[in-house]
C-alpha cells in the first residue's frame, strides 16, 4: 500500500523491503519524536501545528481514494523535529470510486466509526473522518490554552456525527479551516528539537524500525530489496536479523463489498 501513497512529508517513509521464503519485512523511517500523545505532553504548544499536519496527511490519502481505517493517536508519530508521520497502513485500502462501500470490522474500538462497529457496509473515507475527529479531540486535550484553534473546535463535533453522510469530507474540513477568519497557523509554535535530543528522550530507538510478519513459502520468487532488484541487500538482511530491531506482527484483512 505504501507505494501507492505518493510523496507526502507527513506520512512515514518506506526505506526498503526484505522478502525471504518465510518472512516479509519492511524497513521504515525512524520517528524519533515518538507517539503524538507523548510528544504533546512534552511540547503542548505544538498542538495546532500537529493538527494541521495530520489533516494534510489524511487529505493526501483521500485525494487518492486511500482509506487508512485505523487513525488513532498511537498511529500518529513525530519526527525528531516534531513533524507528523502518519503510520501503520496494515488495514488501508484504495477505493475504485469515492462512494464505494466496504465490509469488515477494523480499526481500534475507541476511534472506530459507529457504522464500522456495527458490522455492516460503510464508506471508508467517512469512517476515516470520524476516526480523525476522535484523534484530534485527544490532541486538543493535550495542548496548551494559548494554542487554541476555535475553528477546529467548531468543526470537530461535525466530524464525529453518528450518521456518516452528516460528516464533512476532508476537503471541506480543510477549506473551512483555511477560509475561516483567524485560522492562520502560527508555525513559530513548532519547537526546534534536535535529532540527538529526541533520540535521547525516546531511547532506545534505532535509525530504522523494522516491521514484519510470517509469510507462506513461495516458489520461484526471489527476494526484493529496497531498490527493487532481485535479492535483498546484505545490510538490510543484517538489520532484519539484528536483536535491536523492533518487530510488529499485527495484521488484519479487509474486503471490498462486491
* Domains identified in the chain and CATH numbers: 13-30+205-256 (no CATH), 34-189 (1.10.510.10)
Q: Which residues pair with 230 in a beta bridge?
A: 224
Cα gap 150→176, rounded to integer Å: 12
Q: Which of 19, 38, 70, 186 is catalytic?
A: 70
* Residue 70 known to be catalytic: yes
pLDDT at 1 (0 to 100): 67
Report pLDDT for 251: 35
Q: How far apart are CA 243 and CA 215, in angstroms?
A: 20
Query: Cis (ω within 30 of 0) for the bond into 188?
Result: no
Q: What are the pLDDT tens digits along the chain (258 aa)? A: 666 676 788 999 888 888 888 888 888 888 999 999 999 999 998 999 999 999 999 999 999 999 999 999 999 999 998 999 999 999 999 999 999 999 999 999 999 999 999 999 999 999 999 999 999 999 998 887 767 788 999 999 999 999 999 999 999 999 998 887 444 444 334 344 433 343 334 433 334 444 444 443 344 433 333 333 344 455 555 544 444 344 443 333 333 343
Amino acid at each position: 500500500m505504501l507505494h501507492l501513497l505518493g510523496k507526502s512529508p507527513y506520512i512515514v517513509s518506506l526505506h526498503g523491503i526484505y522478502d525471504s521464503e518465510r518472512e516479509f519485512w519492511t524497513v521504515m523511517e525512524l520517528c524519533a519524536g515518538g507517539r503524538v500523545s507523548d510528544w504533546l505532553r512534552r511540547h503542548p504548544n505544538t498542538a495546532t501545528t500537529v493538527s494541521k499536519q495530520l489533516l494534510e496527511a489524511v487529505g493526501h490519502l483521500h485525494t487518492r481514494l486511500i482509506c487508512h481505517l485505523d487513525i488513532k493517536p498511537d498511529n500518529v508519530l513525530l519526527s525528531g523535529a516534531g513533524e507528523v508521520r502518519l503510520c501503520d497502513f496494515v488495514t488501508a485500502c484504495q477505493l475504485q470510486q469515492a462512494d464505494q462501500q466496504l465490509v469488515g470490522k477494523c480499526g481500534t474500538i475507541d476511534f472506530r466509526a459507529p457504522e464500522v462497529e456495527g458490522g455492516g457496509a460503510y464508506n471508508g473515507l467517512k469512517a476515516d473522518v470520524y476516526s480523525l475527529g476522535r484523534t484530534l479531540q485527544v490532541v486538543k486535550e493535550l495542548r496548551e490554552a494559548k494554542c487554541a484553534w476555535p475553528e477546529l473546535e467548531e468543526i470537530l463535533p461535525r466530524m464525529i456525527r453518528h450518521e456518516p453522510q452528516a460528516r464533512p469530507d476532508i476537503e471541506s474540513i480543510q477549506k473551512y479551516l483555511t477560509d475561516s477568519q483567524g485560522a492562520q497557523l502560527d508555525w513559530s509554535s513548532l519547537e526546534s528539537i534536535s535529532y540527538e535530543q529526541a533520540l535521547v528522550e525516546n531511547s532506545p530507538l534505532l535509525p530504522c524500525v523494522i516491521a514484519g510478519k510470517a509469510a507462506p513459502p513461495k516458489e520461484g520468487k526471489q527476494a526484493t530489496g529496497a531498490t527493487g532488484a532481485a535479492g535483498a541487500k546484505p545490510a538490510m538482511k543484517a538489520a532484519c536479523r539484528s536483536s535491536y530491531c523492533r518487530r510488529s506482527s499485527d495484521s488484519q484483512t479487509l474486503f471490498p463489498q462486491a
